[in-house]
Structure 1
C-alpha cells in the first residue's frame, strides 16, 4: 500500500488535476490533511496592458505514480506541456515555475514540496504581481490533493490564497479526483476556480499507459482556440464530458466557479495564441 508523509507546509495558487485508473478511485490510503499559514505578499503595482506577462504561475505535478502505485509519467507530461502552452499563451517564462514529485532530478522542475511551492510563489509575486495562476495535477481524495508525500486540504489552500494572492485576479485549476471539494473553500469574487471532478467523483487518465490525465489533455487541446480562461474552462469541461461518455465512464462532472469581480478581467485578458 502506498503511504505519504504528513508534515506542516505552505502553498499558494493552483490548478489541480488527478484521476482514477480504469474508471476506479486511486488506490492507497491518503494521509491526514495538513497546512500552515503563509507570509503576506505585497499588493500588486498598478495594472498595465501586458496581458499575462506580469502574472506569477506555478505548475505542479503532485505524484509520479498511477492509481495502482506503479511509475507513470502522466502528471509530469502534463506539467511540462502545460507550462509550455502557458508561455505560448502569453505568460513570461521567467515568471513560471514547475514542480515535480518524481524520484529523480528534473532539468526544469523543482521538487513538489508544499513549502517550497509557497515560498517560490511569494518570490514570483514580488516582481510579477498582477495576477496568480496555479495548476496542480495529481491524485486527490475528498480530503484534499496529493503533493509529493503530503495531502493538502482545501482550507489550507484557501489560507494560502488569501495571504499571498490576496485580491489579485487568480486562476486556480485543481485537476484531481474529488477536486470539487476545493470549490467551497477557494471560491471568491477575484478567483476562477476549476476542478476536474465533482467532490464525490473520480477523474480519469492517470494510468501508466496514459500520456495525460483526461482533464489536462482537454485543457491542452482547447487552449490555442479558447481565447481566455473562462472559455478554456468551459471547453475543457465539455471535452472531458464527451470523452467519458464515449468511453462509457461514470461522468467526473468538472466544476467551474467564476467570481463576479474577476469575470470581466479574465474576459478581457486574451491568450496570445488567439
Structure 2
C-alpha cells in the first residue's frame, strides 16, 4: 500500500507552476487550504460520522476565519480515492501560492496515519508537504492517535505543526456516539475566539486537557506544537477574520 501511495504522490504533485489566486480582503488571501478526512471508521472498522462531521464543520470554520473557498479543497477518503485527493491538493496549490494550511483527521498507529485504505508515514507526508507548499508559510494540523510522530519529519523554519497527541499516545473521541474526535472538536471550539494560529493551538490544547481530565483519562494525549523560527515572527501577523456585528 505504501508503494502505491508514493506513486500517487509522484503523479499528483508534478505539474505546471502555480497561478496567482484571486485577491480577498484577508491576511490569508492566496493561501491553499486542504481539509482531508482520511478515515471514516471506529476502532472495529465500523462506519461512524465523527470524521465526516469534523471535515464539514472545519471547512465552514476556516472559511469564516478568512480562508477563501476558491483555494480550499476538502476530501473524504470514504468516497474520494486518495489519488483524487492528492490531485485536488495540487490543483488548489496552483490557485493559492502564498501559504498552506493542511489539516488531516484520521486514525493513527505508532508508525503511520490511516489514509483511506493506504498508510501515510512521516516520510511520505514530509514529501507531500515539501513538494506542495515548498518555502511558503505552512501550517500542518494532524488529528490522529500517535500523530506526534509527524513533528520531526515536518519541522522547518517556515512551518507550524500541531498534532492531536504525542508520538507514543492515543487521542480520543472516535466512537459512534461522538459528534467529533475530541481534538477536532476542540479546534472548532477554540477557533471562533482565537486571534491567530498560536492562540488556536493554545485553546485547542487546553480544551483537550479539560476533556481528558473530566473523563478521567489515565494517559493524556498531550497534543504537540512546533513553530519554526520564521513562523514565530509571521504567525502573530496572520490574524483570523471575525464577522462584523
TM-score by length of 1: 0.81
- Matched with 1:78 is 54
Residue correspondences, number:
239
8 A Cα contact 1:183 1:193, kept in partner: yes
1:139 is matched with which residue? 107
CA contact (8 A) 1:197 1:254 kept: yes
Provide the rounded CA distance (Å) in 1 between the counterparts of 2:162 and 2:67. 19
Q: Verify: 1:100 aligned to 2:76, yes or no.
A: yes
Q: Tell me, in whole angstroms, the C-alpha distance in 1 between the residues paired with 2:32 and 2:178.
A: 29
Q: Which runs of 5+ in 2 are unaligned?
A: none
TM-score normalized by the length of structure 2:
0.90
In the alignment, what sits opposite 1:52? Answer: 28
Distance 1:40 1:172, change over 3 A: farther
RMSD of aligned residue pairs (Cα, Å): 2.2
1:148 equivalent among 108, 113, 116: 116
1:229 counterpart residue number = 197
Matched, 1:209 2:177: yes
Question: Could you tell me whether the CA contact under 8 Å between 1:41 and 1:165 is conserved in 2?
Answer: no
Instruction: With a CA cutoff of 8 Å and minimum separation of 6, indicate the structure with the bigger relative contact order.
Output: 1
3-state SS of the aligned residue for 1:181? helix
Aligned to 1:168: 136
Whether contact under 8 Å (1:82, 1:220) holds in the other structure is yes
- 3-state SS of 2:34 partner: strand
Structure 1 124/192 Cα, relative in aligned 2: closer, same or farther at 3 Å? same
Q: In the aligned structure 1, how far is the partner of 2:105 from the partner of 2:220?
A: 19
**Structure 1 residues 160 and 260: CA distance shift in structure 2, 3 A:** same
Q: 2:234 aligns with which of 246, 265, 270?
A: 265
- Whole-Å separation in 2 of the counterparts to 1:215 and 1:39: 33
Match of 2:153 among 185, 200, 219: 185
1:68 deviates by 2.0
What SS does structure 2 have at the residue aligned with 1:164? helix
Structure 1 contact 40–163 (Cα < 8 Å) conserved: no
